Amino acid sequence: MNQLQAAGIKPDGKAYDWVKITDAIKKATGNKDGYLTCENDTSGQLQLSEIRICFEADAVNLKNCGRKPPVKCRNDLVFASPPPPKSLDTSMKVNHTPNFFLLYSFGPFPFLLVSLNIWD
């Protein structure tokens, strides 16, 4: 998240060029490419929904994810602000999107996906 903010990309509801987002990911991961996913929000705008980072089989070293984002995600993407917490139980912590995902894999097949909540 810090690398995105350092590149001027913030969860502020504004649209950002997907190349700027992927460049920030490469800077944070030692020039390894991540993988973006996006969804249309209720108004039809494309919204960044996931940033995936891939690892070698040792689950320690980063590797290129090896594919480009879906064609629809190769546009300006809205980086939404987190919604206000909704909770019926005040002891529950509510997770918000977007999330960062760590993808561990053996060869080309993923075997474990770990989601990191980027909001406090």
Domain borders along the chain are 2-83+97-117
2-83+97-117 CATH fold: Ribonuclease Rh; Chain A (3.90.730)
Q: How many CB atoms lie within 10 A of CB 116?
A: 11
User: In the block, which residue shows the tokens 């944070």?
Assistant: 28
Amino acid 85: pLDDT: 65
User: In the block, which residue shows the tokens 């460049």?
Assistant: 23
Amino acid 109: pLDDT: 42
10-residue mean pLDDT series, the chain (120 residues)? 87 91 92 89 87 88 86 88 62 46 44 42
